[in-house]
Structure 1
Amino acid sequence: MTPLPPAPPQVDPARWARLGRWLRLARMVLLWERLWPLLLPVLCVLGLFVAFALFDLAPRLSAWGHGAVLAVSVVAVVALLVRMAMRLRLPDWAAAARRLERDSGLKHRPLAVLGDRPAGSADPLAAALWHSHVDRALVALDRLRLSWPCSDMAARDPYGLRAGVLLILVIAASGGGDDAPRRLARALDVGSLGLAPDLVEVWLTPPPHTGRPPVTLRRDGAGNEPVAVPAGTAILAMVGGGWGDARLIQGGRTQSFQRQPDGSQKIETRLDRGGELVIRQSLFTVARWPVTVTADAVPSAAFSAPSEGDRRGRLHLAVSASDDYGLERVWVAIRRLGALDHDPVLEVALPLAGTTPREAELSGWFDLGAHPWAGMPVTLTPMVKDGAGQVSAGAAEVVTLPERQFVNPVAAAVIDARRALAEDADSLPEVADFLDRLLDEPQAVGGDLKTVLMLALSNRILLSENGFDLDEVRELLWQAALRIEDGDLSSAERALDAARKALEDALDRGADSQEIQALLDAFQQALERTLAAMTAKQGTPSQSAAGGGTVGADELHDMVDRLRDLASAGARDALRRELAQLNRILQGLQPGDGMGGNPAQQGLDALRDLARRQQRLLDDSHAQARAALPAEGEQAAEAQRELRRGLAEVRRQLAKDLGEAPNVLDEAERAMDGAAGLLEQEEWDAAAEAQAQAMASLNRAAREVLEQVGGSGQDAWGMVPRDPLGRPQRGPGDGDDGTTHVPERGDIQRSRQLLDEIRRRAGDGQRPEPERDYLRRLLRQF
């Protein structure tokens, strides 16, 4: 549009600007009056197509019919827009002035006067007349007004078709309601025309260790809430039909689908980043979904209680572990203090109850007394691994690995020979000579045939000319010492532990009920054998007695029967929990001395610690005697005197707890004093003999303490009697202490009844095959 002409000299600029606003408004009115007749046909066509979509007629037509409607609508709109562009003429200022003069009722065209100029000479009288004429025109312009736009559509559309289109559109909109956006999308969907795929299927499968179910994405998922999936989720997408090659876009990365023999397209990949998941084919966006990827957290593990050992060489470990999806393995890595990264590592596995729990509180006693590191400082590190293979380590702690303390002098001598053989290969003749002497007196080992055979085999291996396996001899000597010390108890405990682990492994791999029942039979036999061995060692009856509170065979059968009931009902998780609870009870076994938690325990532990320290001094003396090199005898003598002062303190503790300390400690004190004097003179052989006498006296003192307190029940020192499973004895009225949770027998029986009914229906040939197939698949869970 051309700009407004400049103001005449005699016209006030403010008045001319006001006149310009009126003229611009008049031009807009004229433009609308010219545009409306040309735009109305376009709007009618669009209105008809929107009504067609809101009536949801597109899905009811064939692909060709739908395409024809779309094509006709597009062609009509484009043609009418071209016609409108060709016929539309923009109004000029003169037309706007004529419209403004007509609507204002002005005569003699005063707006034209403002644009005119006088002709001829500059006569003063003519100029005055011209100025008077212009002033009259300006006065007339003060009454300007503009009418609303008018339309001649009644003449152009005498049948009122435009009103019919509007009525149809209103009816369609009222019927569409909330489904209107989806109906419009279906009307514009080119998929039904063969240009976009008619089949789009996408599955998101999380990693197996997460335990999360697969997610199916719907094609109309745009605008939905983001789908949250774990990292590493697998994508399987299928596209069928359409025109062109399909592409998958995730996080800015584009991947192409692969053509299949049947003409469809497929892609398998992994979702490694969040954002929008988009499928495009040719020029069209087929579908899109917002996706959030959750990273797999690193598992954590920590000691929940300080690690400690006992006098049987067992180490108590308590670890708490957690992971966002589930734990696969928990263990404790044991390294010698100061060891390098490539040095050997001892791993102690902590069994998990159930399959991949997210949180676990694990604890147990582990027999490490036979390990070469027993008695040495080590570093314990809790370790955990999740299903994704991520391994994490908790805070480490330093402890002294416990070693088994043997009270029986013959067993202690066998262990000394085992230690000497491991520390010095030159001691082989001495060890072989010791075994010869021991085999000459079978009554020293109680006449036990298995013990004699193990000792004889060890001696035969040592004397073999072809060399020997040190680990094999160590294991034989260790098992012989255990049988001398505990009889059949150690072997029974190992069999019980093996039976328990076999049962746990069967539960983890989903073994059938028949195998579970067989393993429960083996577990019960091993448990009864362990109890019998403990009873023989303690000299207490295993049957329940009135008021005695001991655990008898009946109670053991009840415990295992509850496990059988859970196995029959298919309650695998409950069975795991019950087995773990029973294992915690069994780990509290305290055979042999019956000490429990009495006050004499402190003095006895101190006495055993003195024996261990004395043994180390004795080993040092033997080493110095064989080396025949100059050494610091004064330093060794001071260590022996320090041990002598410790013995005096232990003697006072035992006298306080027991009323009187064993007299054999006098001999130990004299032997220690003599050894200290000989060490000052560097008489290593003589000092070693004196230290050996002190060791023998300490061992006899320990046995006397055990014999003095072993037969007592509730005595003057406040000792609480314990049953063979290490639990405090209770009277008939004490009831359960609440620490053991067992499912109600009625619930178990009801579960068994339901399971039997499912089996019966699955075997009923009169029932429909789909129902029987479902029941058979249901039975596989049990």
Structure 2
Amino acid sequence: MTRNRPPNLPLPRFALGLTHAGLWAERLWRGFWPFLSVLMLALAPILLGLHELVPVEWVWAFAAGFALVLVVTLVLGLRRFRRPVRAEALARLDAALPGRPIQTLMDEQAIGAQDPASAALWRAHQARMAARVANAEPVAPDLVLTRRDPYGLRFMAALCFVAALLFGSVWRVGSVVDLAPGAAQAATGPSWEGWIEPPRYTGLPTLYLNDQTGEVLQLPQGSRITLRLYGEVGQLRLTEEVSGKPLERPDHPEQTVEVTRSGPFEIEGRGGRGWQVVMLSDTAPQVEIAGAAETRAGGQMVLPFAAMDDYGITGGRAVIALDLEAVDRRYGLRTDPDPRDPVVADLPLPITGDRREFTENLIEDFSQHPWAHLPVTITLIAQDAAGQEAETLPFGTALPARRFFDPLAAAVIEQRRDLLWSRDNATRVAQILRAVSHRPDDVFRSQTAYLRLRVILRRMEALQRFGLKPAQQEEIAQALWDLAIMLEDGTLSDALERMRRAQERLSEAMKNGASDQEIAELMQELREATQDYLRQLAQNQQNEQDGERQAQEGESLQMTQDDLQKMMDRIQELMEQGRMAEAQQALEEFQQMMENMRVTQGQGDNGQSEGQRAMEGLAETLRNQQGLSDQAFRDLQEQFNPGAQAGESQQNEGRNGGEGRGQSHEGQGQGSRQSGTGQDGAQQGEPGETGEGSLAERQQALRNELGRQEQNLPGQGTPEGDAAREALDRAGRAMEGAEEALRENDLAEAIDRQAEAMEAMREGMRSLGEALAQQSQPGQGSQEGDQRARNQDPLGRTPGSQGGVDTDESLVPGDDVYRRARDLLDEIRRRSGESDRPKVERDYLKRLLDRF
């Protein structure tokens, strides 16, 4: 039977209290959710200030309607609400437990109480129920109102209220009291508020007029003052002189004034205020040329300029006009020029940062313009956001452009200028070019350039018979420009001739007073040409005969690369000091010394030891494997980019540096792809000529050759020799895997196996070199050292079997070569991620990362 007295239950702390509180929340929410929803809907427009935008009659009508609904929902909520008691909380908590243990603890034993066994069983049952009660947890309230609110009206009301809190203000609730009839007038009288909006381009914030405590307002020109007057019409009036025009209705509730001049701004009436407005005029921008115009080595004009404005420069341009009065009217410039419009170039602006004051460089290339190197006037114009412009005084200078140091190229450029100056000069230009090319063998280094000039002459003479048109004039001028570029840069393949050309161009630049940047560029070209010449001498050494020929040529000049570097540094130092005569003399001595230098003839293969022959054979096999891997890599590129055949892709660069020209790599052996590089789209290799089958055959031939070299490898029985043979065994297995992958047309797998083979071959060559070094005796080492000294070129390098060079110095300083390799790889990754580097360099670095 059940007892009605409250039991002493072993409930956990707060379990019954939280459950009881949940019952309160559940019944309050179920009873008063309509009242809360209506209340939030009523407060939302007040927080947003919508009651200030509509007539006061509408506001009170809506207020009365909402008040009625609030009363109805409140009454309905009070009728539905039942106050929860503790027994209901116990019942809910008991229902949440298995077996209703709380009810069990409140019961008493009805029968069998006198029986000890039955009483013990009842106590055990109550103990088990007490354990369940001790683990009881609070029961969460049921706040789901889906049945009572199927359309989710409570969520709509909550959304409106949250939006009003975010975008409105709780202080607007107090303004509702002012809407009572006569309340505002009785309390504070008429009121007003206003805002000051400066022009957007100034970047200044909007100001609240009521917060301006001073008597003087400094406002930018073009600022807009918006004013709102509250109360009866006529109680407040606006008087101002800042707009420059009279107001139509000074007592209108809404006024908008634009500041165009300084003057008073006053709100007359009860609670009004007044200010003296000082207009800050938008000053015109300023621009000036910050230095003389310079010419870069490539021919670009660099003109520094500075600009400033109170709120920022928004644009600008440079106007370049011909200064006809300053032109030396001789030769082809004697005739009147064809009319040409001034050249207009946009001024560069800072991409980021402040544009109110900055310094930039105008960089443009006018090398092909008809006014190149002629007197011009440069006028810079800057503009601000208000549309105001400022310009500099015309700056007179010779229009910077590319300089041509080759005499024939300079002559062609001069005649091109005369042709562009006036179409009437066509006959004269043709006659002069014919006179220049009268004896082509004495003038032209390239027969191709001479033939191109003859074609241009015939074209120009044929066109001028019927009158040269502007389009034809531009066509001939472009052809003459291309011819001058060919004469200046040339297509020389001979290293000695290229070095002579570099020396001549440097000499001409010093004589003609070229800029320091141009001289530095030509000096760098001379250094590169000298290196190419030395490499050519080293390659020609293998084809020369020892003995009588060297006796006839006289004593050869032996010198180190440091000596050459010191001589060229001395020439550059003299030029930087302005001692051009001494620099010219030093350059002539350098040129004579380089032409007289010869390379000592080596002893050839007859004087080589067995170890040296083995090393050279492995090096040759490694180069062939590298070439074969390059060929497979290009074929893999063509699979994903069919248009990049024969190396035409700009990202495909051969070992010789042929970018996008379809040049094959060195050391590819027979069957390598052949391609032309003619100007007219020369022949490319036929499709299928070098397929995967031929690559597999070449890979098999390389594997067989490596096996033959491994059998004849010296150093057998030594740890280093055995390590070399083990490395070559791994290389052979990797080659076999590459061969199988090539036959299955799996180029990616083949390239991986080829890379493993090359790494193993390099390791084998290192081990073989250590074995040879340990086997050499002091006498033998001296003999081989003397032989290497006889085979060295003037820079101390030993030529290889295919024109390569070797050195005794370590290519990677330090003992930890693997750590050095990791550092180099990290540096390549870092540089490839720098966006300010040239695109060509970043593409090259990415190709290195893809390969290694």
TM-score, normalising length from structure 1? 0.34
Structure (1 or 2) with the larger CA radius of gyration:
1
TM-score, normalising length from structure 2? 0.32
